[in-house]
């Protein structure tokens, strides 16, 4: 299971503005997980900014490096001056599952091909700088069951070691669903063995991907 970088879902409300030579470049971006979602976001921005000269876009989808779906659109700007530099800005950050739309209100002064490339690239970078980048990392579920008299000791250990836990399950014994990086499982189980004098049982569950801020 690969690690990959994307942005938080809440960042779809972000908006950044870049002005040059009286042209305004407005950037919006969104976490998406399908081409349908990406296209819907692009369509929504075009509808919102229907009076703008251009609504250029780029998106990157998929977790596997080398097999990602990458597309861009110049929306009437000279070929290769808008969508391509936007996509390149996304790729330079190693981001995926993201769509970016840069809306341009033309100010009456032509920027030239090189100026457009720099403007759309910079507008995209401003949007990405404002976003919260997360890394989706693999975590192994391990359900640890033990007596209630050991609960506080194990919880204190988990807090001290910054071990992730999901909701506890209370029954005749208590079960703590731990979420561990796969490479840490053996080490953490050894620590628990020492901590509890081996007075626990455990069971491996699913392998998940969880967000970690970077």
Strand partners, 145: 175, 201
* Backbone phi and psi for residue 203, each to the nearest 5 degrees, phi listed first: -145, 130
pLDDT at 65: 59
Please state, in angstroms and rounded to a whole number, the distance separating the CA atoms of residues 101 and 156.
46
Give ∠ CA 25-13-66 in degrees, rounded to 5: 75
Instruction: Kindly report the CATH class assigned to 4-131.
Output: alpha beta
DSSP 48-114: HTTTSSEEEEEEEE-SSTTS-EEEEE-TTSSTTSSHHHHHHHHHHTTB-SEEEEEEEE--SS--HHH
Q: What is the pLDDT of residues 52-101, one digit of tens each?
A: 999 999 999 998 655 689 999 999 999 999 999 999 999 999 999 999 99
pLDDT category at 46 given cuts 50, 70, 90 is very high
Which residue, 118, 33, 110, 94, is CA-closest to 102?
118
> Rounded distance, CA 80 to CA 116, Å?
9
Summary mean pLDDT of the chain: 93
Cα angle value 210/212/214 (rounded, 5°)? 155
d(CA 123, CA 129): 10
pLDDT at 11: 65
Rounded CA-CA distance 65/12 in Å is 24
pLDDT above 80: residue 154: yes
Topology (CATH) of 137-213: Alpha-Beta Plaits (3.30.70)
In the chain, list all ranges with CATH 3.30.70.240.
137-213
Per-residue pLDDT averaged across 119-124, rounded? 97
Q: What percent of the chain has pLDDT over 70?
A: 97
More confident: 14 or 65: 14
List where CATH 3.30.230.30 sits in the chain. 4-131
């Amino acid at each position: 299971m690969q690690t990959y970088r994307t942005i938080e879902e809440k960042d779809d409300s972000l908006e950044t503005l870049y002005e040059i030579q009286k042209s305004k470049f407005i950037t919006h971006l969104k976490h998406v997980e399908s081409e349908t979602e990406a296209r819907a976001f692009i369509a929504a921005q075009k509808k919102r900014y229907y009076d703008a000269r251009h609504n250029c876009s780029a998106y990157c989808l998929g977790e596997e490096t080398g097999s990602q779906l990458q597309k861009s659109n110049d929306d009437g700007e000279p070929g290769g001056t808008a969508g391509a530099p936007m996509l390149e800005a996304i790729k330079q950050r190693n981001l995926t599952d993201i769509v970016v739309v840069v809306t341009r209100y033309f100010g009456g002064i032509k920027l030239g091909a090189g100026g457009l490339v720099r403007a759309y690239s910079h507008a995209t970078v401003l949007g990405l700088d404002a976003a919260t980048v997360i890394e989706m990392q693999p975590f192994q579920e391990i359900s640890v069951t033990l007596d209630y008299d050991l609960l506080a000791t194990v919880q204190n250990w988990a807090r001290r070691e910054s071990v992730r836990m999901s909701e506890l399950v209370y029954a005749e014994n208590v079960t703590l669903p731990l979420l561990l990086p796969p490479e840490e499982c053996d080490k953490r189980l050894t620590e628990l063995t020492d901590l509890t004098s081996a007075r626990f049982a455990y069971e491996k569950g699913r392998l998940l991907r969880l967000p970690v801020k970077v």
